[in-house]
Structure 1
């Protein structure tokens, strides 16, 4: 792996770590002010937050390699298990664990993976068409 690729991978690792830490912190605040509510209630927050987590985790895992179904399932599994842990560890801080929250987490993760796969495909086609036009 080139030094540039290592630098990018390190940057992705730092970004993923910061995002994950922020997500954990946000989901373990005992009281969430109403001003932070998004339309659609907390399910939309779960959907968006876990889409971001899966997107960044997959981007970090797939950087410099080809995405495969096995890698996608691995990312989905990691995020789904973390969603369960996240829900259960909210109980001690006075929040509730809900199955529907977890389902929104998993749906968000699927959306994040789909978004990344779509972007990779679109960028790949753009690169190919640019390369074909340049020759």
Structure 2
């Protein structure tokens, strides 16, 4: 089981429904390695308590993840991260594509063209390599 303290923030005033924020949070935990393939996910009650939300909201997030094939439910044992590497890679690619699209949209709103966006990314990647 994972330690959830400080593991994520649910924004109650955000335009994104809370159950989707929770589903996104669990997906990020998987990508970060906090939840691994085949690992049991926290219970509805445990996660609801930690995130200070209604258990029904967590249940809905779990249903969303189940329908996407990210988690599976085993009767009388609990919910687990899928062992399907292809499904997890598909989830990873979906998240990376969404984040990249959001970034590009924001940069274009600041008036940057594709060449300027690429230059910015390269400069920041180089700076991160150097520890700046």
Category of TM-score, reference length = shorter chain: 0.3 to 0.5
Which structure exhibits the higher relative contact order, with contacts defined as CA atoms closer than 8 Å and separated by 6 or more residues? Answer: 1
Q: In proportion to residue count, which structure has more strand?
A: 2
TM-score of the pair, normalised by structure 2? 0.36
Q: In proportion to residue count, which structure has more helix?
A: 1
